[in-house]
Structure 1
C-alpha cells in the first residue's frame, strides 16, 4: 500500500512540476519576445492547393536560385521525397548559392542526419529551431516553430500549410489526397518573410546573420493588398476575435483541428446569435490521436446555434483559412486550435484583395461539396469509446 501512495505522490509532483514549468516558461518567453507588426503591402499572390504543384514550383525556384535559399519547415520527413528535397539543397550549396535550412527540432527529428551533414559539408547551413531548453524543459518541448517560410533570392516567398514529405504529395495511402493551401508571393512583402526567417534563424543558432542589403533588394509593387502577422502564443486569439467581432454576414473557417479557446468560442456563438452565417470545414479522418474527439464539444455548441459544419471526405483536410464577409481572408500556418493560439510560432497572411478572395471562395465551395454536413444527431449518438476519448481529449486539449 505504501508503494501505491508513493507512486501517486510522485505522479502529483510530476504534474505539478509540469504545470509550473509551463506557466513560468510561457511567461518568460513572452516577456522576452517583443511583437512585430508589418504594414499592409502590395504584391502578387498565387494560391496553391495541391502538393505536387507546390513542390514543382518550389523545386524549380530553388534550382534557379542565384544568391540565397532560405527555407523554414516544421517537418521534413525521412522518405525519398524529402531526400530529393535535401539533395537539391546540397546541389545548390555546391554551386555556391547560400543555403540555409531551418527545421523544428521535434517536428523534424527524423530528418536524415547524413544528408544534413552533406548540406553542411557542401557549404550550406542547417539549424534546428526550438530545441529542448532549461530551465523550462516542459514548456520548450511543447512550443514548436510551426511556420513554413521559403524565400528564394530575396525575391520569391512561400508560406502556408505544407511540410516536406511524401504524404504532402499524395503518396500516403492513408491520408491521400492531401488538401492544403499554400501561397507563392512576389512583391515588397517578401521582405517581411525574409525578416521573419532571419529572426527565427538567429534565435536558433550561435552564428547569427546580419540583415544584409543582399537579402533586401528593391522589389516591385504588385496589385494585391495583404499583410503578414507573426504570432508566438499571444496575439492570435486577439486577432481572430477581432475578425469574428467585425463579421456582419458570414464567417468561413477551414482547419484540420478545431479546438478554440473559450474566448473565441464565445465570439463565434455571439456571431451566430446576431445572425452571422458560420461555416466550418474539418477533416473526416484524423491524423493524430484525440484531435477529432476534442472538437466535438465545441462543434455541438455551435451547431446548436445554427453553424454549418462540414467533414471533408476527399482525403485529409489540412488547410488553415478564415474568410469574413468575403472581404478579408486569413491564410497561413496557424490551426484553429489552442496549440497555435497559446504556444506555437505561427505566421498568417491577411489578404484584402477582392478578386483573390473570390478565387479562394471558389476553392472553399469545392471543398464543401466534397464534404459531409455533420448533424447534431451524429454528435449526440457517438459510441461509448468516442465518449471516453472526448473525456481524455478535454483533459489535454491545450497540447493536442
Structure 2
C-alpha cells in the first residue's frame, strides 16, 4: 500500500469517526434536553454599542459589588484589558465578595494554567465550561457555551455580544472599530440571568446554588417588558421562525454570520412573497475564514426576491439583533447561523416594549447608514476563487 493510500484510509477513518461521534452525540444531547421558558419580565434596560463605554460601566459596577459576582464569558483573552478585568475580580475576592468566573474552554483557551491557579489562590471560584469529554469527544468539542452573562449582587445584569479582549475596545488594527450590542438589566429580568448562570455553573462544577435565596434578592418591576430565552443547541430555530412568520410589515436582521437553517431561509423567502420588507445587515470585513462565502448562497437567493442586504463598512459588525415590525425585537448572544441554532448554548432577550424597540431600531438604522448595499450584480460577477470558497464553505457551514 502506497503512502497516499494510507493517508486516504486514515482520513476516511477520521471522517467516519467524526460523523458517528457527532451524530450519536447530538442524538444523546437532544434525548436528555428539556425546554425551559423564562417568564415575561419588566426591567430597566440600557443598550451599549461601544466597547469602551460598556466596560467602563461594567467594571464600575463590579467594583461596587457588595456580596457576589457571577460572570460567564465565551472569550477571555490574555491581553491588557483581560488582565485589568481579572485584577478587579481578584481585588473583590480579597475584599470578601463571592466571585465566580466561568469561561468556555475553547473560546478562552488562551487562559493559562498559571492564571487559573492565581485566580483560585486569590479566592475566586473558577471553572471552564464545556470541557470536551468522551464518549462523544468531537460533538462536545463543537457544542460551545457562547453565552455572556454578568450578575452583580443579584440586582444588576449584563448580556450581549461583547467578550473580554482588546478587539472589543477597538485595540485590534484589523477589526477596529468593533460594533456590538450589549444589554444592561436592573429589575425582574436579573433573576433569569442569575438562574441561567447558576445552571451553567452546576453543569461545570456540580455545585447546586439554585435554591439559595441569597442569590435571588427581591427586585423591582422595571419599565420595559421583555423575556429572556436560554438555548442549549435546540429550540432557537422555532423561536426565530415564530416571530418571522408573524411579521406584518418588516423584518430587520443584524448578524455577523448569516447562515440560516433551511426552515428559517424558507420563512424569510415566504415573508418576501407576502410583501414583507426584509433587511439584512452583515459585516463587510470578516473575522473567520469562509463565513462570508457561506452566506452568499442564501443572500443571492433572497436578493433575487427583493431583500435588501447591507455590508457594514465602519469597522467590524459583530452585533446580533432582529426586529419584527415595531412589536418584537431580539438582542442577544446568538448569531443567525447554524452553529448558534443547533450547537452553541446561547441566551437572547426578546423585547416587547415599543419604546425600547425604537431605540434598537435607531441603532440598526444608524448602522445601515454606515453600510453599502450589496447587489445581485456584484454577487454574480465571475470570480473563480470566490466560487471555490463558496463551494468549500457549504460543506462545513454547520461548523463555521
| Same topology, TM > 0.5 | yes
Partner of 2:183: 183
Q: Structure 1, residues 313-356: CA drift from partner, whole Å, max 9, x if none? A: 00000000000011100000000000000100001000001111
Residue correspondence of structure 1 range 20-59 to structure 2 within 5 A: 20-59=20-59
- Aligned partner of residue 349 in structure 2, secondary structure: strand
Partner of 2:211: 211
Are 2:293 and 2:389, in contact at CA under 8 Å, matched by a contact in 1? yes
Are 1:251 and 1:277, in contact at CA under 8 Å, matched by a contact in 2? yes
Are 2:236 and 2:341, in contact at CA under 8 Å, matched by a contact in 1? yes
Task: Give the Cα separation in 2 of the matches to 1:210 and 1:391.
Answer: 47
Q: How many residues are matched?
A: 400
Q: Any stretches of 5+ residues in structure 1 without a counterpart?
A: none
Partner of 2:193: 193
Are 2:199 and 2:210, in contact at CA under 8 Å, matched by a contact in 1? no
- 1:223: how far off? 1.3
Are 1:104 and 1:130, in contact at CA under 8 Å, matched by a contact in 2? yes
Partner of 1:231: 231
- Aligned partner of residue 139 in structure 1, secondary structure: helix
Q: Structure 1, residues 182-219: CA drift from partner, whole Å, max 9, x if none? A: 00001011000000000001101144434311100100
Are 1:83 and 1:115, in contact at CA under 8 Å, matched by a contact in 2? no
Task: Give the Cα separation in 2 of the matches to 1:206 and 1:368.
Answer: 45
For structure 1, which segment, 130-139 or 14-23, has the greater mean C-alpha deviation from structure 2 after superposition?
14-23
Partner of 1:71: 71
- Aligned partner of residue 44 in structure 1, secondary structure: strand
- 1:4: how far off? 2.9
Q: Structure 1, residues 350-388: CA drift from partner, whole Å, max 9, x if none? A: 000111111111111100000000000110115221111
- Aligned partner of residue 299 in structure 2, secondary structure: helix
CA RMSD of aligned residues (A): 1.0
Partner of 1:337: 337
Are 2:151 and 2:190, in contact at CA under 8 Å, matched by a contact in 1? yes
- 1:9: how far off? 2.5
Are 2:155 and 2:187, in contact at CA under 8 Å, matched by a contact in 1? yes
- Aligned partner of residue 300 in structure 1, secondary structure: helix
Is 1:158 the counterpart of 2:158? The answer is: yes
Question: Kindly tell me: are residues 112 and 56 of structure 1, through their superposed partners in 2, closer, same or farther at Cα, counting changes over 3 Å?
Answer: farther
Task: Give the Cα separation in 2 of the matches to 1:159 and 1:273.
Answer: 35
Are 1:86 and 1:115, in contact at CA under 8 Å, matched by a contact in 2? no
Q: Any stretches of 5+ residues in structure 2 without a counterpart?
A: none
Task: Give the Cα separation in 2 of the matches to 1:29 and 1:128.
Answer: 19
Are 1:198 and 1:211, in contact at CA under 8 Å, matched by a contact in 2? no
- 1:3: how far off? 3.7
For structure 1, which segment, 33-42 or 372-381, has the greater mean C-alpha deviation from structure 2 after superposition?
33-42
Is 1:129 the counterpart of 2:126? The answer is: no
Are 2:201 and 2:207, in contact at CA under 8 Å, matched by a contact in 1? no
Residue correspondence of structure 1 range 323-362 to structure 2 within 5 A: 323-362=323-362
Structure-2-length-normalised TM-score: 0.98
For structure 1, which segment, 284-293 or 1-10, has the greater mean C-alpha deviation from structure 2 after superposition?
1-10
